[in-house]
Amino acid sequence: MEATGRWQFAKFACLITLAVAEENLTAPAQKARGSCQSFGCSNEFRPYQSCQCNDKCEGYGNCCNDFRACSGSCKSLGCPSDYQASRICQCNTQCEAFGNCCADYKACKGSPSSPAQPVAQRGQGATCPGTIELRGHGSMRLSNAYWDKPNEPAGKVRLQNGAIEVFMKGRTYFSDVCQTGKFSNQHYSSLQLLGKRMRWTTDVSNAECGCNAAVYLASLPQNREVSGCEDYYCDANSVCGVRCAEIDLQEANKHAFHSVLHLAQDGSGKGSGYGGGSTWNSHRDWTRQQYGPGGRCIDTRRPFQVEVGFPTDGRGRLRALTTRLSQSGGGCDLSAEISAESYRFGGSSSVEELTQALARGMTPIVSYWSAPDMLWMDGKGADGLGPCARDEPQRCGDSARFWDFAVENLWERLI
């Protein structure tokens, strides 16, 4: 090859390398060490693993060498008779009802490892704990989930002295209509929040490391798939088998707080706040001295106020997600912001998809859950500046509480 040709080839290779590097900026740098056989298959990004076994790892270049064993084959996954939460698709006798079968699941019929099992009794539908006042909008009914995950019953949610009290594994949807025993995507509220803020008071004093008291938005009204939870639930991590746009306004416990933007296909998303990480670092907008038990700004042993705003640009598109925490008697407020333009996934900006989701209307959801592997949210990180050395879901308190919800324009404040 002539010198000129070699130089042009080297230049082309360099450009390709830079493009790939830029594409991977949204994911923690990882090397393909480890095994899906040992880690287990999962549709979720697991930041504590040295390599990934989910359906997006090829795009990020961080797959384990044997990740194709997780690509949806009952031959490789086996034929268990029960629901396998860690698996991308299912091979049991109920997968047809929930729409999450692997492509070759029929090979499991009659298999010795898949004994005959009766179809599980269908869920009993929605329960309706009551109505709250969403100031700036009006009365809002609550519809409680029957399933937390497919075949895993949800916990209790009740209204107590005007507050939403969510017990472990509980999940409730803000709704225009709640009909006992029935779910419909047309029953859920469709809040249009561009140019507005949503605020509320929360009490996470019982939520230790490994607990997650959450308020978030999802595109439930636009979802026509009933989902594995039988209630049209969808989110960016496909918890019930259906993906949709999701915006986490609060994912929190006593030690960590996150707000996160998610495109429908991005379970990791981009966020702000404090806490998280194992061999990498998550959000460090605040410190443990500012947020946590005895924090000088937010003392999480007491209730505090949360405000999340959706400012727009000159074209009416989502410009950012802003978060502000305050507390009566606190020494300072805490603020953070995520630029929508800075959030890129698969080489594309998130602005258009999230703007469309917010313009069409999204449903507020409140939940409380736990896991032994929640260091992505509350871990110490590589810098040691995060709050939790390990997660202890067995120490989670019974419930988390939320009240005083309001929606208002960014330029006004309702009393």
Q: What CATH number is attached to the domain comprising 380?
A: 2.70.100.10
Q: Is 260 among the domain residues?
A: yes
Q: Rounded to whole angstroms, what are the CA distances from 241 to 89, 334, 405, 414?
A: 9, 35, 29, 38
Q: Is 9 among the domain residues?
A: no
Number of other CB atoms surrounding residue 245 within 10 Å: 25
Q: Please tell me the total count of domains within the chain.
A: 2
Strand 138-144 and strand 270-275: the pairing is unpaired
Q: Which two tokens stand for residue 374?
A: 């929640």
Same domain for 80 and 216?
no
Same domain for 162 and 76?
no
Q: Is 207 among the domain residues?
A: yes
Q: Is 196 among the domain residues?
A: yes
Q: Is 270 among the domain residues?
A: yes
pLDDT of res. 46:
66
Q: Is 415 among the domain residues?
A: no
- Examine the fold and report which residue of 108, 137, 168 is the final residue of a domain before the chain moves on: 108
9: left (phi over 0), alpha (psi -120 to 50) or beta: alpha
Q: Give me the amino acid identity at 300.
A: T
| 3 vs 23: CA distance, rounded Å | 31
Strand 399-409 and strand 163-167: the pairing is antiparallel
Strand-by-strand arrangement of the 196-203 sheet: 157-160, 163-167, 399-409, 196-203, 304-309, 320-326, 334-339
Same domain for 209 and 282?
yes
Residue span of the structural domain in which 49 resides: 17-108
Same domain for 82 and 177?
no
Number of other CB atoms surrounding residue 16 within 10 Å: 10
**Averages of pLDDT over each 10 residues, the chain, 415 residues:** 45 43 39 55 64 71 70 59 56 60 62 35 79 96 96 95 96 97 96 97 98 98 95 97 97 98 96 95 96 97 98 96 95 96 90 96 98 96 96 96 97 71
Same domain for 376 and 271?
yes
Residue with tokens 């040691």: 384
pLDDT of res. 411:
85
Same domain for 223 and 75?
no
**pTM of the entire structure?**
0.73
- Examine the fold and report which residue of 49, 79, 108 is the final residue of a domain before the chain moves on: 108
Cβ-contact 149, 235 below 8 angstroms: no
Same domain for 302 and 161?
yes
Same domain for 157 and 276?
yes
Same domain for 56 and 189?
no
Same domain for 102 and 132?
no
Query: Which is nearest to 173 in space by CA: 147, 196, 194, 199?
Result: 147
pLDDT of res. 69:
60
Percentages (nearest 5) of helix, strand, coil residues in the chain:
15, 30, 50
Q: Which residues contact 228 (CB under 8 A, 6 or more apart)?
A: 98, 99, 100, 147, 149, 150, 240, 241, 242
H or E element in which residue 273 lies: strand 270-275
Same domain for 275 and 169?
yes
Same domain for 91 and 150?
no
Number of other CB atoms surrounding residue 414 within 10 Å: 10
Burial of 341 (0-12, 13-18, 19+ CB in 10 A): middle
Q: Is 189 among the domain residues?
A: yes
Q: Is 122 among the domain residues?
A: no
DSSP letter string, 179-191: BTTB--TTTB--B
Cβ-contact 172, 402 below 8 angstroms: no
